[in-house]
Amino acid sequence: MKIKELMALELFQSCKLLTKEIGLDNEVDSAMVLEALDIENWSQKNQLILTSFYAFNDLPESEFATFFEKMKKVGVSGLVVKMDRLITMIPDWLIDYCFIYEIPLIKVEQEISYEKIILTIYEPLLNHRGHLLRTYYDVRQRFTKVGRNVHSFENIMETFYQLIQLPCSLDIPSLNIHLHYDSPFEIANILERSYVQTNEFTKNIYQRVTFNTSSGQQMTALASEIVTPFDQLSTLMVYQQGEIITESQMMILENVIDIIYERLQTEYLIKKDRYTRLNNLADAILQNTPTSPDELNSLLDDAKINHHRYYQGIAFSSKNGDTQALDRNILKQLCALRPKRIFFEHYNYTIILFNLETPEKEIQKKEIQKLFDTSFIKAHELTFSMSLVKEKKGLKEILLECLDAIRFNQVLQIDPVVSISDLGIFRYFMQEEQLDQLERLIPKQLKKLWEQSPDLFDTLYTFFQSGRNYKRTAEILFLHSKTIRYRLNKIEGLLKIDLTNPLQLVNYEIGTYLLHQRSENND
């Protein structure tokens, strides 16, 4: 209730408003009789203060100003001064202060009791509160019926639209739900946002959003963000088109937000249950692959990946701490590569098992490289591994190939995206306990050359990479061929090897490659 509505009540029509048009739109939520100066300890916002001003007798003017400053700070709606045998007229200084601090001042005659004034103020307030509570209850019953009979956001919003009678929309990005009722308004740019003051019966936060539509029309909407158990917030909007949202409509909004939140919780639990079931199913297929063909077929049928003959695994892992949100984003992009798949999430890796129509449909390295930028992969220290294409009898090997390739690649960094077929001879060192054996392949003199003569080592590495071609080595290093021959002769002397003897060079060539990779890792 506003001050101007209060003055329209029968009892207050015989009273006098001494401050003209000041504060007529001030809200009145309660009233209190106060005969004390410490108003900050007793009063509250939107409260009407009833007083006879006994406490102000013989006070210095400075304390009057302090009292009014406190009233303004608290947010008092107005002052009602009741005349009695000791106060027969309101002093001019009091009226002046009310004008200065924009606090409405109402004069009530002596014959009107405090009891009548309080009852007159609270009767419409209580009726209004009762109406709001009844509205909330009735709307709640309507939505409870909807929730009991129909399990969809569409039906919740249809009921909401019937009740609110205004254009509205609901966006739930995490579930890819975008619902509009009445005319959809496409937001081109937001001009202003401001928080909306609500009453004591509301618990949600609302913003008034002013925006331009794609057609150039300026619109206003009431928006509320709904916290969800998913990664993203949901947004409910009511487009006002010039109308003011009433308190009764706010009760409808409060109800629909509660129902949407409850439904989101249900959706999350369903998804979580489904995720757990599928994760366990993928674990059974990949880690504990049944030896019985019938049992394996049953698991593949449950996972809906028993349509085709061939399978391939793609795994990824990151060395960077907690990467749950990152992993979900990567997983989503990888899963889109082929339609038939199931995935298994472990605490330090994730693997996706794809069901392929033919071996030619296998996922290629370039497909993964196209999805993720090199800088993104490096920033998160990601490793992607790809198994060979297998038939059902080889399913058990898929997880082992992917994990061994990840482990090997994290040591040597062959490439951020590595296929098991890329490893060549190194496949024989893929078991974790055998990785240490690689160190023994590196001759001591070669390691010394790598540590003490980087230019000579780089020349030897380039020589091997260019197929032991002197001219090509010189071109790559931008050096004269005589310089290359000089360096290689020096290397032969230091390492005591014959660069024309392929058999003698096997360990040196492997060792050179391993040390070169170690240099790149250090960089």
What is the rounded distance in angstroms from the CA atom of residue 353 to the CA atom of residue 357?
A: 13
CB 212 within 8 A of CB 186: no
Q: CA-CA distances (angstroms) from residue 108 to 12, 13, 80, 82?
A: 8, 10, 7, 5
- Long-range pairs for 63-71: beta carbons < 8 A, 24 or more residues apart: 63/37, 64/93, 64/94, 64/97, 65/97, 67/37, 67/39, 68/97, 68/98, 68/100, 68/101, 68/103, 69/101, 70/39, 70/40, 71/39, 71/43, 71/101, 71/103
State residue 354's pLDDT score. Answer: 95
- Concatenating the DSSP letter of every residue in 267-280 gives HHHHHHHHHHHHHH
The 8 Å CB, 24+ separation contacts for 402-406 are: 402/313, 402/314, 402/315, 402/351, 403/315, 403/349, 403/351, 404/430, 404/431, 404/432, 405/315, 405/430, 406/315, 406/316, 406/317, 406/349
- Give how far the C-alpha of residue 253 lies from the chain's centroid of Cα atoms, to the nearest Å: 23
Query: What's the rounded Cα separation, in Å, for the pair 264 and 158?
Result: 17
Q: Which of 28, 35, 40 is nearest to 52 (CA)?
A: 35
- Beta-strand pair 234-239/218-226: antiparallel
Lateral strand order in the sheet of 417-419: 341-345, 350-356, 310-318, 382-386, 417-419
227: tokens are 């916290």
How far is residue 469 from each of residues 461, 481, 492, 501, 504, measured CA to CA in Å?
12, 10, 16, 14, 17
CB 98 within 8 A of CB 18: yes
> What are the backbone angles phi and psi of residue 224, rounded to the nearest 5°?
-140, 130
Distance CA 494, CA 514 (A): 19
Measured CA to CA, the distance from residue 195 to residue 197 in angstroms comes to 7
CA–CA distances in Å: residue 328 to residues 317, 379, 388: 12, 17, 24
Distance CA 469, CA 303 (A): 53
Q: Which two tokens stand for residue 242?
A: 């010039």
Strand residue runs (E) in 142-217: 168-172, 177-181, 187-195, 207-213
Q: What pLDDT score was predicted for residue 134?
A: 66
Q: Residue 37 has what pLDDT?
A: 76
What pLDDT does 309 receive?
92
What span, in angstroms and rounded, lies between the C-alpha atoms of 165 and 222? 14
> How far apart (Å, rounded) are the C-alpha atoms in residues 208 and 239?
10
- pLDDT value of residue 320: 67
User: What are the DSSP calls for 224-272, one per residue?
Assistant: EEE--SSSS-EEEEEE-TTPPPPHHHHHHHHHHHHHHHHHHHHHHHHHH
- pLDDT by 10-residue block (mean), the chain, 523 residues: 80 82 84 80 83 70 81 87 72 84 85 78 67 63 59 82 85 88 78 78 83 82 84 85 71 83 85 85 89 90 92 87 72 92 88 93 91 85 91 90 82 77 66 59 86 91 88 90 91 88 79 76 56
Q: Which long-range contacts (CB under 8 A, 24 or more apart) does 148-155 make?
A: 151/263, 151/266, 153/177, 153/179, 153/260, 153/263, 154/179
User: Hey, how many other C-beta atoms are within 10 angstroms of the C-beta on 119?
Assistant: 13
pLDDT of residue 516: 80
Instruction: Identify which of 257, 258, 236, 248 has the alpha carbon closest to the alpha carbon of residue 167.
Output: 236
Query: What does pTM read for this prediction?
Result: 0.53
For residue 311, what pLDDT is reported?
A: 95
Q: Are strands 417-419 and 382-386 parallel, antiparallel or unpaired?
A: parallel
**Calpha distance 343→315 (Å, rounded):** 9
Give the pair of three-digit tokens for residue 434. 């055998």
CA separation, residue 288 to residues 75, 296, 356, 390 (Å): 69, 10, 21, 17
Structure tokens at 452: 């003490």
Q: Which residue has the tokens 């004069």?
A: 107
Both tokens of 129, joined, read 């509160």
The predicted pLDDT at position 202 comes to 75
